[in-house]
Each structure stands twice: as structure tokens, then as C-alpha cells.
A and B are shown apart, each in its own frame.
Chain A
Amino acid sequence: MSTDSKSGGRIPIENGIEQTLRKVLKESLKSDLIDALLLPVKVPSGDSYAWILMQDPALVEEEASPMAAVMPVQGAKALKSLTRKGNGSLRVAAMMRPCEVRGTIELSKLNQINLDNVTLISYDCPGALPLSDMSDAPQDTEEAFMGLLSERNFESTAVKPVCQFCTEFSMGAADVHIGMADPDTSQLLLISGSEKGTAFLSATGLKVDEEPSAWEKQTDSIQKKRIQQMDKAFQTIQPMVEGFDNLADTFSNCIGCHNCQSACPICYCRQCYSDSKESSLESAYYLDKAEKRGGISLPHDRLMFHVGRLSHMSLSCVSCGQCTDACPVSIPVAKVFSYVAAQTQQAFEYKAGKTAGEAIPLKEYKEDELKKIHEMTKSAESQESPHE
């Protein structure tokens, strides 16, 4: 995505942001360009959202919640279920948070999503609210989120912890992006990020001829603050993660439900090895071990599960925070994963899901990368206080 392809266009906001957006999306569905939309829709009970693949323009206008307050199912997972077996002939546009777009890009690199006929739409995200807020007080939560959007509030502490220090909250690899951070609150700024995006915007009747420089300035300044937030957050996370004992403490109340893995968009295995029969051992092994240690906790290897997941997916982790939302015992899983992901991705100078063309680090070999990792490990070791 080169900046010079970024072209913006505006439409006036009428009857609120959501209604305006629904109109745009409806227009796209009426055009020849898009056959179906993948959008969040509030569930009948009103306390959550579900992803609905819709082809009826009327449904879009009446039901869609394109910018949902919470993120029950990560959009990348929804799109994966649609396109895993190929894209078919249906041309789909999906509206997602930036982290969902990044998850989508990662999964497309891992052959789990086919983006050939997909147009991705994203928006500057103030952060998702915790899932539990929505089930506790649906209406308040929804209003709170709409408030953040209309006030252009990107510094809320009500959003999920990882969202508060998310630096990739704005435009990434999406084809169309909605500049919610733009200072002009009377109009919606729509930006094209690709040829697909330009086609989409012109199908909705929008002229794209504006260099969105005010928006760019605004997102830059938000990002600077977010980076500061991240540095601060990482200082508090570091002692939770580094050192074996600390990590064990952080996960000590894990109940081994593996919800974090089910909610994770990146964990794409059909069956997790840790759930497989190969991973369970003979009772004699546990008894031996218990005898030697004086006692062992069961089910065993709960920490190993998290370490395994970290080693498998941290290079592709998009810090969406789904794991924390899914954790029934309130372990700050996303903070840990986000912290580790930042380190591993930095080692390979990679940002998961940021650009579509960049190969996943483990799929390509650069001669100097091992050296860099070695240096990082060495500096980490010298910083770490001895634990033994």
C-alpha cells in the first residue's frame, strides 16, 4: 500500500455514523461490483454480535452494525470459514477492525483465506470494548462505543487493555478505509488503499480525489501517543513474562480450557496438538514424576500449552485481544502474547498482517537474521536478573 495511491472522498454524515455507513454499504451491494457483504449484526437478545453474510440490501440498511462495540468472533475467523476452500465466484466485501484485517492478511499468507474476490474495509478503531461489558449492559456499551466514535476519542481507558496501546489502529492493508480520526466530524472520510478499493468507492458513487493530509496528521499524532502507551504498558508486562517462574505465576490459575486458542484468529490448526491423543502420556509417567517431585499439578502441561502457542503463533499475532476476552479466569493472556509478539516480530523486522506482500519470516531465510536474533537474546539475557 503506497501512500500515493491513497485517495480520499467524503460523504456528509446524516442520522449518525452508523446509518451513513449502512447507506454506503447498501449502495455497494446494489452495484455490479459486490455480491455479498460480511458484516456484524446484533443478535436477537441484543447483547452480542454475529457475522452475517448478507445479499439483501434491505437487510444491510435495517440490521447491520458495521462498527460493532465489541468483537465476539474475530473477523478473520469468519472470513476464513467462508473462503478456506477457495473464493468461489461470490465477490464479497467485509467490514472489519484493523486487527481483523491484519489477522485476515496473516491467514491469507498461511493459505487459510483466499482474498481474490474479497474487498476489505476497515476504519480507525478507538479500540473494542471488553466482551463482558456487552453482556452485562448491552445498551450502555453500545452507546459508549458510539460516543468514542463520534467524539473521535482514541485515548479511552474503557476499551480492552491491548487496544489502549494498539499502534496499528489505522489504515493497513485494507482496500477501503474509513478515516474516523479525521478532524471533520460532519463528514465521513473514505480512503482507497488499492485498485479494488477505488473500484468499490466509485461503485458507491463517491469521488475519490482528495489527499487526506489532515487525517494523516491526526493519525500520526494518535500513533505517537499510543507508542508511549505501549512502552509504558510493556514495562508493567515485562515482569509478568520474563523468567520462567514469573511466566508460571502469570498462568498459575489457568484452567486449561483452551478458550484462548479457540478464540484466536491465528491458531488455524484443525486440531490443536495439545488436544490430541499424542499429547497425553501413560499414567506411569505422571506417577514417576510425582514421586520424584513430591507432587505434580493435573491436568499437566498447562503452562506448556501457552508456551507452545506462543512459539507457534507469536510471529503472526495481531494483538486483537480475543484471548483475554475468552478467558474465564481473567488471565491477561493478550498482554503476554502482545508483549512476546512485539519482540519476536521485531527480531525479524516483521509486523504481522501489515502488508500483504511481505512473506512470513519463517518462510524465508535471510543470512543476517540469526545474528540479529542472537544479539537480541544476548541483550535480553544480560538485562534479565538471575532467577535460580
Chain B
Amino acid sequence: MAKKSKSVLVVGAGIAGIQASLDLAEMGLDVHLVEESPTIGGRMPQLDKTFPTNDCSMCILSPKMSECARHPGITLHTLSSVTSITGDPGNLKCRVLKRAKYVDPVKCVACGLCEEKCPVKVDDAFDMALRKRKAISRYFLQSIPAEYTIDKEHCLYLTKGVCKLCEKTCPAGAIKFDDKDQEVELKVGAVIMATGIDAFNPIGFGHFGYHLYKNVVTSLEFERMLSASGPFGGHVVKASDQKEPKKLAFIQCVGSRDESINKNYCSSACCMFAIKQSIIAKEHIKALEPTVFYMDIRAFGKDFDKYYDKAQNQYGVKFIRSKISEIREKEDGTLKLKYSLENGEIRYEQFDMVVLSIGLEPRKNLEALAGQLDINLNEFGFCRSEAFKPVQTSRPGIYVCGGMNGPKDIPESVVAASGAVAGTLKSLKIERQALAASDGESGEINVIGERPRIGTFVCHCGINIAGVVDVKKVAAEAGELPNVEHAENVMYACSSDCLETIKQRIEEHHLNRIVVAACTPRTHEPLFRETIKEAGLNPYLFEMANIRDQCSWAHMDEPELATSKAGDLVKMAVAKARNLSPLERLPIGINPKALVIGGGLAGMIAALSIAEAGHEVVLVEKDKELGGHVRKLYYHLSGKDPQALLSETIQKVKKHKAIELLVNHEIQQINGYVGNFTTTIHSPKTDKETTVEHGAVIVATGAKEHRPSEYGYGQSTRIVTQTEFEKMIHDQSFPKGRLRNVVMIQCVGSREPDKMVCSRVCCSDAMKNGLELKKVNPRADIFVCYRDIRTYGFKEKYYTELRDKGAMFLRFEPDGKPKVEVQTIDDPNSKLTVTAFDPIMEKEVVIAADLVVLSAGIDALEENSTLAKMLKVPLNADGMFLEAHVKLRPVDFATDGIFVCGLAHGPKDMDETMAQAQAAASRALSFLTKESILAEGTIAEINADLCSGCGYCEEVCAYTAIEVNPETQVAEVNDALCKGCGTCVASCRCGALDLRGFSNKQLFSVFNELELIKED
């Protein structure tokens, strides 16, 4: 038996590293998260918005960052890096270099006084050097951990031995000039590498004049310009004259798809990035005229084509297929672009500003790191992962996710992260986790029946609040309010000594409600709740007034009014505190078993991952055989054999003792909720029903190949789909006669007005089958009629290869589709003619085709809607299962305990499917490894006497946490599923619903206070 450990190392704290750490920590493992920079977060904090939903990047990321920083199972090592790893999986020794921060993170309260005083200005890397920061600084405003560090390369004292201004200014005594680098050794069972990507640096590249011409910027710089928290507050202006641009050009593939610089790969995200930026920029500047110059628009992700369509038709973004040959700057800073159209025509156009859509490339230090850690890189310098092993490095025990092993967007990185977690589990010791003692019963002080005795603490936050608001006055006034037993002003409410003070005051004054007037509850409420819990109070007897973000920061120039407002905010918080009551978080038992629906590749991998972690799985497949769509695949671009993978996987599934396999079975009914599902499974063959109790569900029901209704499909044996063609090559079962001209037609049943979806895999499948055909029949002439070639990532090289082998690519527009004619109808062997328009030669091409291969897309299964109804989870407009959040929760549903993977979620290739299946397994395991979870304290509750059973609440609940009982006609809240969002409460006109912790009574007491204040 190989050795196993409870500890695991994650290297890199971008979104992938954060996700991996959270999943592992939720399974009860000890996670060491090592990050090179002073903060966790990675690239996402630099982004303004995210495609295709235009969600604010920081808004969706920061809760994950806080969760990561707070999680008791995660130890953060920022400003640190791994220097070596020795040993075997299950028993690895990792040396980590922790660089000196020169600021004591325990003492630093991130007040920012030091930065104000520091005389040294340095380029701010976070803002792409568009502004300056100081030699002592916080990486960015919301960085986590919230601490300052000194840049030793630039600090005057550390370089020249003079200054020390920060030390003199720091009220917390946190500056530590004698800080030293340290090396620590961590013993772990497995390692996940997630060191991320760099962006291509276009200095001196092409004739684009980056850094020579003022108004040429990179897409990352432009992103910071768009960001409201960026150097220009979201106001986009030209560097030449500080005026808004009118004509804006995006140039795609700068540093991508370029063999001359060894970048014969597609960076995958830049097309969508440019589309997003053009939309957001247009929202900022109404008169803006954005133009995107591109080779192919690669909008291949879920709902991406709809976003592309929106950019063209709703925002009027112009897209020109061309290559830019040159940019010249005119005297006024205007840029003259020279470009050639498809037909070779040269054009010139002037723009005010040019954004270079720079590609993604391996991190600069990856080569050195790979050498140190003994992991292999691929031909482009990314970490190498073999086909069908999407989250593994070349070294056993070390896994990889995020952009480190290839360009990925955010959801792909998150999926890979959770997928990598599943990989590590065989080297880790996972135990069923009992509830931590502190979470359940505790010797809480009973406050029920006692009159409120409120303690109020008003925070200076250094000068953040006290620089504007007269905090002493606010504290003194608070002391006069009814039920306030104690009020004081404190320098930093969140500092460890002040937290001790709060605990002491609770004891001294028998306080039973606490109000802290400081910053935002979003980041600090958990800390204060934990503190009062330690003092014996129920954590929900706490209220926060935000007198910083919403007061001192917002009213910097009006200190008197700000003071008065702060006083009012405190009054309102006290009013609410008066009405607070203790809340309980009820434990919900979790059944450790999982149900996986669908026995294709996704379902099998998910089932195996869960079973290998020691949990029982029921795997249900409606077909007689396992394997799903992969049964029809014979080739893979990598050269590996999908059938070999399939039979190996099927063998593993059949052999695994923890997997109960039910082929030829159908799901009949699913009841219950997270941890407690009961599912009825029916066998049509025996007409018998089986009932299974389980804690989680994974939906892996797959999809199907589109059945073409155009291009003469069905009229001739010489018109086939891409999968039929693949079988033909494999079986050598080509139609009789000549096989010279093979015409492939792309986007059949995809990217149509009624189905604006790219099927993602068809372009690569065309390359794959084209290359396979060339192997068996080198004389075949291949014609590919396409709209955009979407061979994203490392698949690009196969596109190049097929082109090099002489395949002809003919582009068509949706209104000029190629025409397929069967010369003799009713003759299955009839000759075919394909007429297509060649935009390069600008004339029609007539091909006497021996075979027409239709790249039919992927369609959702009709039966998805039945299953979706049973599970009460949503489908998108195209009938695919819709995840909880397209960016950060790509395999979860909004309803806890249910997960999705594979084609049921959307089109994807085999590696992506395998990574996603592993991800779904990890996410399920983060619940299943617990004996029980705690329901939220802040949940809805119903007064049955007032409920009329109208069902509004049921319709508006996103979590299926409330239902009208048909017997009693009264709505019932499921404590396990309720997230406390309050939507049902707002929808209830009968006033039968209320939200614990935000009850009508509590809120009205706040409003009434406000009303009285307003009339002052």
C-alpha cells in the first residue's frame, strides 16, 4: 500500500489554484497554497468584466478569495515559491522559499499610512505600469491577505540605508526591516501546479509600433483602462491628447498562431476578450466605432457565438477578416492601418487608438521551474500533459491546471482545477469529516428574555475613517442610544488586540449584542462573528455599520456631514441590533454515496474518481453498453486510440467494487436534497424498480450528433457526417469507385439563426479525419468549406499541417452556403457536385466530389427536459444543462449536491470531458466526504397561519428551497437548500415569509430609524 498524506501543496493562487485549494480543504485536507506575488487572485483581479455575461470580474472573484483566505484548512504562503520537490506520490518533500515581506503581516492592518509617506515611486505592475505605486504598497485595493509589503529592489532604506519613513509612520509598529527570506520544508502527498500564464509582450513585434506609438496599447492595458478601479477610473482616453477615441481597432492574434515565433497555437481567449472589450468600450463611449481585425473569430465556448452576434448586431462592432501589415503614426497621434482583404485588396484606414490582442504564453520562469521540479514542457514551453491525461504532468504525484499546460479561459481553468484535485486524491488520506465541535453545540450564553445590552465599537481604520469622520463624537453619541451599555472608539477594530478588547468588554458589561462601525461586512463580518462566538455569544448577535466605504471614502470633502451620517448609520445598526436574536445552524446528514447518470466517458470517469476516493457510486446507463459517444470515435489528434481508452475505462468501471453498474436502466424519479436524495431507477427489460439513497447526483447524460437536414444528406451514400466518415476510414469501407475529391462542409446544424451555437469540436474533427484520410490515401484532395476555423489551443498546428498537406480551405458566409447536387437522384452511388464561392479568387468553384463530409454539430438530447424537471435544474435555450455560474461554478448547479459534466453541459472534446468529469467528482466529494453539513443560519421561515399557498415564492426561488405542500396548501422551506437570499420574502404579499437575521421587524426598525433621521 502506497503511503498517503493529509497534506497537499498547491502552487499558484490564481483562480485555478484557489479553486483547487478550496475543493481540497473542503474534503478535510490540509492545503498549502504557495503564491509568488504578495496576493492571491492571479489574473482575474486585473480584468474589468468577463465574457459572455459581462459580470464584474472582481465582484465574482472576491468572495472566493475571502473564502480561501479564511478557510481553516488552507495555509497561505504569499511571496513564496517552490524550489524543489523530492520523493514519491503520497510522500513528497517540497522546499518552499518564503521571501521577506519586511512588514509583519500579523501587525499590519493595511491602513495605508506608510504608502502615503513613502517617497519612492515604482511602476505599478497590477495596472500594467499605467500608474505608479510606492516602494511599500498593497498589491491592489482588495488584495488578500490585506497586507503591505516592501519592494526591496526599490526601497531607499534597503538599497541605500536611508529613509525609514514608513517605520516612523506605521501606527501598528509593523515594519520589519530585518526580515529575512526563509526556506521551509513541507511534506505532502501530492502537488497541484497552477502557476498560470503570461501575456505576449509585443515590444518590437511586427509593424505595430507598440511603445513607439502613443495610442497603441495591449489588450491587458486596455482592460485596466476600462476598469472603474483602474488608473483612469474607467474613462478611456488616448495617451496622445487625453481625449476619448472615436475609432478603435482591435488587432487579433498578436503573438498567437504565428509559426515564425514558435507560437503555432491559438491563445483561445483573445477573440472573446476583444469582443468583450469592444462591447464594454462601446458602453463607456456611445459614439465609439470599434473594428476588430481578425483571421478567424474563435467564439467556440458555451453561448459565445450569441455574444459575438450581439457585438455585431446590437453594438455595431465591425469585424474585418484581414491581416494588418503595417501601422503608421501620424503627427496628431492618429494611426494609419494598412491591411489586406481576403481577395488581396490593400486598404488603408485611420484609427484613433489600436488595441493589440496579445496572446497567452508560458510564464517566463516556467522553464527554470520545470527543470527544478523535473516536469516536462511541450514544444511551445507550456507544461506537457499527455492526451487523455488532461490534469497530469509528466511526473507522478504532480498535477497541473489552469493556463500552465495550455491557454484556457476562466471556466476551463476552474474545471481543470477541480479535475486536478480528483487526480491527487489517490495519494491523499481522505477521512469522513465529523462536524467540528465548535460548529455544533456550544456553551452559548443564553440571551433570550434578556433586554438588549449593546456594545458599540467605532473604528478609526487608521486615517481611512478617522481622517474624515470624528469617530470620538460618533462613539460618544452611540453611548447615549437606548440599550447601548458600552461604546468606544478603537484604532483598528480588526486587529488582534482589539478583538481581544471586544471579548473583554462582553464579559465586563455582560453585553449581549455587538455593533462594529467600520468597513464592510463582506470582508470583515465573519471575523467579528467568530470573535463574539469565542466570547460565548451566538455569532448572529452581531451587526456592522459600514462607515468607511459608504461614508468616509464617499464624503472625503465633507467631514461634518460625514460625521453626522456615520452617527446615523450607527443609530440604524443599533436599532437592528436591538432586534437581533440568536440563530442556529442545523446540521444536515450527508449520505456518502453518489449517483452518476450516464455511462459515457464523462459518467465513467466521474464514477471512477468518486469510487477511487473510497465512496460508493451507482452508475446508471440507459443503453445496453457503456461508452456513449466515444464508441464512435476511432482517432484522436494526438495519435492515441480512443477505443483503447474506452475499453480500459470500461474494464476499470466493471471491476471496481465500489461501483454498482446499472446498464439498460432509466431514472424514473428523484426526490430529496443535498446529502439526502432518493432515486427510483427502472429497468425497462425486467420492468423492475430499484430505489437508491445517495448524497449527490452527477448528470453526465451526453448529447448527440446533429442529423443534417441540408446538403442532400440522406440522398446518397456519398454524403456522410464526420463520424460516419471516421468509421469509413477506420473500416476502410469507402463507397466504391474513385475517392479523389473529398469536400467537407463545416457548421452543419451549428451557428444557425435558431441555434446560435458553435459545436466546438467539428473543426478539429475535420482536421483529424482529413489527416487520417491523407494517411490512407495521400492522393485525396480535401476541400474544407468553413466559416471560421476554430482549432483553438494546441489544435492549431493540425490545421497548419492539413493546409501544408495541400487541403484547400474555402470560406463561406451564412447566406452563401455551398451547394451539393446529387447528379442522379435515386442512385445511391451517383456523382456529386459541390458549388462553393471562393472569396480569395472571388469566383465560384465547382468540385466534382466523390465524397461530401458534413461536420454535423452537437445537439442536446430531447430527454434533458424530463431529467431537468426531475432534478429541478435549468436548461439553457439550446437544451443543454445550465450550470450555476458560467465562469466560476462550471460544473455545479445552483441547487446544492447536483453536478454536471460532459456533453450534457455543452460541446467539448475528450480531454475537456475527462477534466470536467473529474471536476464534477471533486465537487461532489467536497460534500460527500462530510458526515454532515450545516444549514445556513440566515434562512427563510414561514408562518403557516398567514400563508395562502399562492406559490409566488416557489416560482422565484433559484435554489428550489421552497415549495407549496399540495396537501396543506402552505409553503415549506427546505433548510438545507435555502441560501437566505430573501427573494421569496419579497415576493410574499401575505407577509407569511420572513428571513431570519433580516426579518421584517429588524429591517423596519432600521427604516423607521432612518425615517426619523431624515426628518431632522
Interface of A with B (CB < 8 Å)? 84-85, 110-112, 268-271, 273, 276, 278, 281, 285, 288-289, 292-293, 312-313, 362-364
Stretch at the interface among B9-17, B367-375, B903-911, B948-956: B948-956
Stretch at the interface among B120-128, B210-218, B823-831, B984-992: B984-992
Determine the distance from Cα of A269 to Cα of B1001 in the docked complex, in whole angstroms: 19
Would B987 and A362 count as touching, CB distance under 8 A?
A: yes
Report how many residues on chain B are interfacial, defined by Cβ distance under 8 Å. Answer: 24
- A363 contacts which chain B residues (CB < 8 A)? 951-952, 955-956
Partner of A269, one of B991, B1008, B1012: B991
Determine the distance from Cα of A167 to Cα of B950 in the docked complex, in whole angstroms: 28
Chain B contact residues: over half helix, strand or loop, or mixed?
A: loop
Q: Tell me if B556 counts as interface (CB < 8 A to partner A).
A: no
What 1/0 flags go to B972-1016 for Cβ under 8 Å of A? 000000000000000101110000000011001000100110011
Would B990 and A271 count as touching, CB distance under 8 A?
A: yes
Q: Tell me if B481 counts as interface (CB < 8 A to partner A).
A: no
Would A268 and B950 count as touching, CB distance under 8 A?
A: yes
- Could you jot down 14 A-B contacts, CB within 8 Å? A84-B969, A111-B950, A111-B951, A111-B964, A112-B949, A268-B950, A269-B990, A271-B946, A281-B1004, A285-B1012, A289-B1012, A292-B1012, A362-B955, A363-B952
Name the CB-closest residue of B to A313.
B989
Would B951 and A110 count as touching, CB distance under 8 A?
A: yes
- A362 contacts which chain B residues (CB < 8 A)? 952, 955-956, 987
Would B1015 and A293 count as touching, CB distance under 8 A?
A: yes
- A269 contacts which chain B residues (CB < 8 A)? 946, 948, 989-991
Determine the distance from Cα of A268 to Cα of B1016 in the docked complex, in whole angstroms: 39
Determine the distance from Cα of A99 to Cα of B360 in the docked complex, in whole angstroms: 65
Determine the distance from Cα of A112 to Cα of B987 in the docked complex, in whole angstroms: 16
Given contacts A85-B969, A273-B991, contact A112 B1012 (CB under 8 A): no
Would A273 and B948 count as touching, CB distance under 8 A?
A: no
Q: How many inter-chain residue pairs (CB < 8 Å) link A and B?
A: 62
Would A270 and B1008 count as touching, CB distance under 8 A?
A: no
Name the CB-closest residue of A to B949.
A111
- A288 contacts which chain B residues (CB < 8 A)? 1012
Besides A110-B948, A112-B949, A273-B990, 9 other CB < 8 A contacts?
A: A110-B951, A112-B950, A269-B946, A269-B991, A271-B946, A278-B1000, A288-B1012, A289-B1011, A289-B1015
Would A110 and B950 count as touching, CB distance under 8 A?
A: yes
- A293 contacts which chain B residues (CB < 8 A)? 1015
Would A278 and B950 count as touching, CB distance under 8 A?
A: no
Determine the distance from Cα of A84 to Cα of B947 in the docked complex, in whole angstroms: 13
Would A285 and B969 count as touching, CB distance under 8 A?
A: no
Q: Tell me if B945 counts as interface (CB < 8 A to partner A).
A: yes
- B987 contacts which chain A residues (CB < 8 A)? 362
Would B950 and A276 count as touching, CB distance under 8 A?
A: no
- A273 contacts which chain B residues (CB < 8 A)? 989-991
Name the CB-closest residue of B to A273.
B991
State how many angstroms separate the Cβ of A309 from the closest Cβ of chain B: 9
Determine the distance from Cα of A285 to Cα of B1008 in the docked complex, in whole angstroms: 8
- B946 contacts which chain A residues (CB < 8 A)? 269-271, 276
State how many angstroms separate the Cβ of B80 from the closest Cβ of chain A: 46
State how many angstroms separate the Cβ of A296 from the closest Cβ of chain B: 10
Determine the distance from Cα of A268 to Cα of B950 in the docked complex, in whole angstroms: 9
Would B948 and A112 count as touching, CB distance under 8 A?
A: yes
Partner of B1001, one of A270, A271, A278: A278
- B990 contacts which chain A residues (CB < 8 A)? 269-271, 273
State how many angstroms separate the Cβ of B143 from the closest Cβ of chain A: 35
Name the CB-closest residue of A to B1016.
A292
- Give B712-743 interface residues, CB cut-off 8 Å to A: none
- A276 contacts which chain B residues (CB < 8 A)? 946, 991
Name the CB-closest residue of A to B955.
A363
Determine the distance from Cα of A276 to Cα of B947 in the docked complex, in whole angstroms: 13
Determine the distance from Cα of A276 to Cα of B989 in the docked complex, in whole angstroms: 13
State how many angstroms separate the Cβ of B1010 from the closest Cβ of chain A: 12
State how many angstroms separate the Cβ of B875 from the closest Cβ of chain A: 15
State how many angstroms separate the Cβ of A244 from the closest Cβ of chain B: 15
Name the CB-closest residue of A to B1001.
A278
Would B1015 and A278 count as touching, CB distance under 8 A?
A: no
State how many angstroms separate the Cβ of B952 from the closest Cβ of chain A: 7
State how many angstroms separate the Cβ of A199 from the closest Cβ of chain B: 27
Partner of A281, one of B951, B952, B1008: B1008
- Give B210-265 interface residues, CB cut-off 8 Å to A: none
State how many angstroms separate the Cβ of A233 from the closest Cβ of chain B: 28
State how many angstroms separate the Cβ of A266 from the closest Cβ of chain B: 10
State how many angstroms separate the Cβ of A110 from the closest Cβ of chain B: 4
Would A270 and B945 count as touching, CB distance under 8 A?
A: yes
State how many angstroms separate the Cβ of B75 from the closest Cβ of chain A: 43
Top-6 shortest CB links A-B? A273-B991, A269-B990, A312-B989, A110-B950, A363-B955, A292-B1015
- B945 contacts which chain A residues (CB < 8 A)? 270-271
State how many angstroms separate the Cβ of A179 from the closest Cβ of chain B: 34
State how many angstroms separate the Cβ of A81 from the closest Cβ of chain B: 13
- B955 contacts which chain A residues (CB < 8 A)? 362-364
- B989 contacts which chain A residues (CB < 8 A)? 269, 273, 312-313
Determine the distance from Cα of A363 to Cα of B987 in the docked complex, in whole angstroms: 9
State how many angstroms separate the Cβ of A331 from the closest Cβ of chain B: 22
Would B991 and A268 count as touching, CB distance under 8 A?
A: no
- Give B632-646 interface residues, CB cut-off 8 Å to A: none
Name the CB-closest residue of B to A359.
B955
- A278 contacts which chain B residues (CB < 8 A)? 991, 1000-1001, 1004
Determine the distance from Cα of A271 to Cα of B1016 in the docked complex, in whole angstroms: 35
State how many angstroms separate the Cβ of A308 from the closest Cβ of chain B: 9
- B950 contacts which chain A residues (CB < 8 A)? 110-112, 268
Name the CB-closest residue of A to B951.
A111
Determine the distance from Cα of A273 to Cα of B994 in the docked complex, in whole angstroms: 12
- A268 contacts which chain B residues (CB < 8 A)? 948, 950
Determine the distance from Cα of A270 to Cα of B991 in the docked complex, in whole angstroms: 10
Name the CB-closest residue of A to B990.
A269
- A364 contacts which chain B residues (CB < 8 A)? 955
Determine the distance from Cα of A278 to Cα of B989 in the docked complex, in whole angstroms: 14
State how many angstroms separate the Cβ of B568 from the closest Cβ of chain A: 14
State how many angstroms separate the Cβ of A190 from the closest Cβ of chain B: 34
Determine the distance from Cα of A87 to Cα of B945 in the docked complex, in whole angstroms: 22
Determine the distance from Cα of A293 to Cα of B956 in the docked complex, in whole angstroms: 40
State how many angstroms separate the Cβ of B756 from the closest Cβ of chain A: 15
Determine the distance from Cα of A249 to Cα of B1012 in the docked complex, in whole angstroms: 23
Determine the distance from Cα of A289 to Cα of B1008 in the docked complex, in whole angstroms: 9
- A292 contacts which chain B residues (CB < 8 A)? 1012, 1015-1016
Determine the distance from Cα of A327 to Cα of B748 in the docked complex, in whole angstroms: 66
Determine the distance from Cα of A249 to Cα of B1016 in the docked complex, in whole angstroms: 25
Determine the distance from Cα of A364 to Cα of B1001 in the docked complex, in whole angstroms: 29
Determine the distance from Cα of A270 to Cα of B988 in the docked complex, in whole angstroms: 12
Determine the distance from Cα of A270 to Cα of B1011 in the docked complex, in whole angstroms: 30
Determine the distance from Cα of A110 to Cα of B948 in the docked complex, in whole angstroms: 9
State how many angstroms separate the Cβ of A373 from the closest Cβ of chain B: 16
- A281 contacts which chain B residues (CB < 8 A)? 1004, 1008
Given contacts A278-B1000, A278-B1001, contact A270 B948 (CB under 8 A): yes
- A289 contacts which chain B residues (CB < 8 A)? 1011-1012, 1015
Determine the distance from Cα of A270 to Cα of B950 in the docked complex, in whole angstroms: 11
Determine the distance from Cα of A292 to Cα of B1012 in the docked complex, in whole angstroms: 8
- B969 contacts which chain A residues (CB < 8 A)? 84-85, 111
Determine the distance from Cα of A11 to Cα of B706 in the docked complex, in whole angstroms: 58
- A84 contacts which chain B residues (CB < 8 A)? 969
State how many angstroms separate the Cβ of B557 from the closest Cβ of chain A: 26
- Give B950-973 interface residues, CB cut-off 8 Å to A: 950-952, 955-956, 964, 969
- A312 contacts which chain B residues (CB < 8 A)? 989
Name the CB-closest residue of A to B989.
A312
Determine the distance from Cα of A98 to Cα of B964 in the docked complex, in whole angstroms: 30
Determine the distance from Cα of A111 to Cα of B956 in the docked complex, in whole angstroms: 15
Determine the distance from Cα of A264 to Cα of B990 in the docked complex, in whole angstroms: 15
State how many angstroms separate the Cβ of B812 from the closest Cβ of chain A: 31
- B948 contacts which chain A residues (CB < 8 A)? 110-112, 268-270
State how many angstroms separate the Cβ of B98 from the closest Cβ of chain A: 50
